[in-house]
Amino acid sequence: MAPKCEGNTLQAKVISDQKSFSGNDSYDRAEAFVDAHPDYWIVGTSQVVSPVQFEKLGHYELIHQSPNTVSTQQQGNTSEVEIFEYSPQK
């Protein structure tokens, strides 16, 4: 979240606490914690790996991968750039 500027005062969000969740049900436990503590958000420390679960999008086909890769602990190597094309017939 970007800092807000009001007049000559800059307001910024500050990380003051961290909770870690691990294991097969880590996302479910993190989500339950955030539901019970609305001042907390689920965030990640990696710009490559999302801390939240996404459903796989249908009808998209990978049409380009860059040769440069980024190494991640959870997913191995991932291309820096991946371009997908929407194919409604597939």
CA terminus-to-terminus distance, the chain: 37
∠ at Cα 1 (37, 11), nearest 5°? Answer: 95
> Which pTM was predicted?
0.52
- How do residues 17-43 score in pLDDT, each as one tens digit? 888 888 888 889 999 999 999 989 898
- How do residues 8-17 score in pLDDT, each as one tens digit? 887 787 888 8
Domain boundaries, the chain: 1-43, 54-90
Q: Match 């380009």 to its residue by tokens.
A: 64
Residue 72: what pLDDT? 65
